[in-house]
Structure 1
Amino acid sequence: MAANVHVEILDDEESRHGGNRIQPLSSTPISEPWRIEEGKKQSSLTLSERLGLEEFFSLNVWRASVGELLGSAVLVFAIDTIVISSFETQTKTPNLIMALLICLTITILLLAVFPVSGGHINPIITFSAALIGLISISRAVIYILAQCAGGVLGALALRAVVSKTIEQTFSLGGCTLTIIAPGPHGPITLGLETGQALWLEIICTFVFLFASVWIAFDERQARRLGHVVVCSIIGVVLGLLVFISTTVTAQKGYAGAGLNPARCLGPALVRGGHLWDGHWVFWAGPAIGCVAFYLYTKIIPRQHFHAKGYKHDFLNILKAVFVSNGDHK
């Protein structure tokens, strides 16, 4: 789930007076010495520059990734606790309570991590930003690794404070497609079919990016609304999608759309067992949704595309690779 970079997306008072510029959901620090000037022709760039390989050796990038790691750890701990408590209290509307609390949690964490790394704390946001070209592929790899490590730390922290009974009953609050439950004639499997779950992940991921994250990517809207409003919108949309995915299916055993592969990975590694059943869905679905959203950004008229950043999106990198290979033949 959801959110020091190359080009300004959210402009705060500090950035207007020459201080550090912090942009959520964006890319590379302006202070980097290898920053590519806007007027430089793409044809003169090396593949290393297009991929941002120098960021692997940037201490600032690795420092920023610590924010992603800790943010993801707190995210997993908080959200999995919310999932467990929402159903443990046996309220009449656990899905609604869970969605509201997730909305609030996501908003707070995005605001907390935003000044450090740009506020991703979700591989979906990081991957889509890399595809569009707001961040380099190298930075995306570093962030996603940090997010996954944070997911594991959050799951370990939760496991340390809950009882074995709670851990087993609620699967540590992880992402599940099915569960094994006692039946009149022996154990039965409850949950959602893999195909349905995959489609839910794809659709919810696209809606998440289209209806909220794109506002942060669009520098016009982000500057006009401010980062507090933008992060709140992302939290609200994510909460709504969690509520919708758990309500429309109404299947016991299905935990709802994961919408954050790192959050799903943490409990799966720590708890194991049936959390691995269909786990690939929580990665493949968001990946496909991100690609679909990226294609949408390539289709819309260029005058309506106001996201600026690293400027080397995925298709441009592929073109450069193939052109370069053709020139060497």
Structure 2
Amino acid sequence: MDPVVMNIVGQDSPRKLSPPTKPKTETPNLVISFFIFPTLTILLLATFPISGGHINPIITFSAALVGVISHSRAFVYVLAQCAGAVLGALALKAVVNSNIEETFSLGGCTLSVIVPGPDGAITVGINTGQALWLEIICTFVLLFASVWIGFDDRQAKALGLVLVCSIIGAVAGVLVFVSTTVTATKGYAGAGMNPARCLGAALVRGGQLWNGLWVFWVGPAIACLLFYVYVKTIRDLPPWTEMCRAPSLPL
């Protein structure tokens, strides 16, 4: 269809007016990151009396590696975390409308999205290599700020439960914001740092959430192993067995 041509008063030549376009909508990364902080803090405080705050497989896996909890207990915790993620995704699907579900993918982890292009649908996002590195780095930083502070009896006693949980929530929010900001790529939801959450949304919604899902499991697993090596060989930590016996703030 030819564009609309209108004669502008006071001008000799006609001006072509472009058809109206819809305003671009972008994910409010800063707002989402800000809400991660209080949400995660409250969840940690709420689950602390039950499991010690084990709401994330990477925390549980790291705790098992360094001997804070047994491997059998860690296995049960991870199963419960994955089941909880599925229930959470189902709850979101039941209460949000289709537009919100499409925009935020039920809180799942995405590397790319399919958007309309000039010649049909196209996929935009980041490559798996870049996402894997971001997942490893961000997860390692989160582990350093959570396991190290939460299980070190000296810091845990000095800071207190509320402040320790607040620090973890703040660090997670900052890491999500940084990972989405440095990439500045539409379709990438930021560092997952919680494989259970990524899996739950993928099982419920499917589609694009299955693409690259392995990144959100392999990346954190590598970070956990690196953190284990860091704890055992680099940092001058108190013996982990003594910290387990002493009153502390396990997460």
**TM-score with structure 1 setting the length:** 0.64
Q: Distance in 2 between matches of 1:209 and 1:203?
A: 10
Match of 2:93 among 159, 173, 176: 159
Alpha-carbon shift at residue 192 of structure 1 (Å):
0.7
1:309 and 2:244 correspond = yes
Q: Which runs of 5+ in 2 are unaligned?
A: 1-24, 246-251
1:154-233 residue pairs with structure 2 within 5 A?
154-233=88-167
Larger mean Cα displacement after TM superposition, 161-170 or 135-144 = 161-170
| Residue 231 of structure 2 corresponds to residue 297 of structure 1 | yes
Structure 1 residues 170-179 or 281-290, which shifts more?
A: 170-179
Moved more, 207-216 or 94-103: 207-216
Are 1:265 and 2:199 an aligned pair? yes
**Pairs aligned (count):** 220
Structure-2 residue corresponding to 1:317 = none
Cα deviation digits, residues 1-31 of structure 1 (max 9, x gap): xxxxxxxxxxxxxxxxxxxxxxxxxxxxxxx
Q: CA–CA distance in 2 between the matches of 1:95 and 1:242? A: 8
Runs of 4+ in 1 over 6 A off after TM superposition: none
| 2:62 counterpart (128, 135, 155) | 128
TM-score, scaled to structure 2: 0.84
Deviation of the 1:301 alpha carbon:
5.3
- Contact conserved, 1:181 with 1:188, CA < 8 A, in 2? yes
Indicate conservation of the 8 Å contact 1:297/1:305, yes or no. Answer: no
What residue is the counterpart of 1:246 in the other structure?
180
Measure, in 2, the Cα distance between the counterparts of 1:131 and 1:239.
Answer: 25
Kept in 1: contact 2:63–2:147 (CA 8 A): no
Whether the 8 Å CA contact 1:179–1:274 is kept in 2: the answer is yes
Q: How does 1:86-105 map to 2 (within 5 A)?
A: 94-105=28-39
2:235 and 2:195 map into 1 onto residues whose CA distance is: 31
In 1, Cα distance between equivalents of 2:161 and 2:83: 26
Task: Give me the whole-angstrom Cα distance separating, in 1, the residues matched to 2:30 and 2:98.
Answer: 26
Deviation at 1:219, TM superposition (A): 1.1
Change (3 A) 1:183 1:228: same
Unpaired runs of 5+ in structure 1? 1-89, 311-329
Report percent identity of matched pairs: 70
Cα distance in 1 for residues equivalent to 2:205 and 2:235: 47
Code of the aligned partner of 2:139: T
* Alignment match of 2:79 (pick from 128, 131, 145): 145
1:101 positional shift? 0.5
Give 1 or 2 for the bigger CA radius of gyration.
2
CA distance in 2 between partners of 1:100 and 1:109 (Å) = 15
Distance 2:168 2:100 in 1: 30
Go from structure 1 to structure 2 and tell me whether the alpha carbon gap of 1:170 and 1:98 turns closer, same or farther (over 3 Å shift). closer
For 1:306 and 1:231, the matched residues in 2 are separated by 23
What is the RMSD computed on CA atoms of the aligned residues? 1.7
Cα distance in 1 for residues equivalent to 2:230 and 2:36: 28
Match of 1:321 in 2: none
- Matching residue of 1:119: 53
Where does residue 4 of structure 1 map in the other structure? none
Give 1:220 deviation, angstroms. Answer: 1.0
1:187-229 CA-to-partner distances (Å, cap 9, x unmatched) read: 1111010000000000001111113331001111111111111
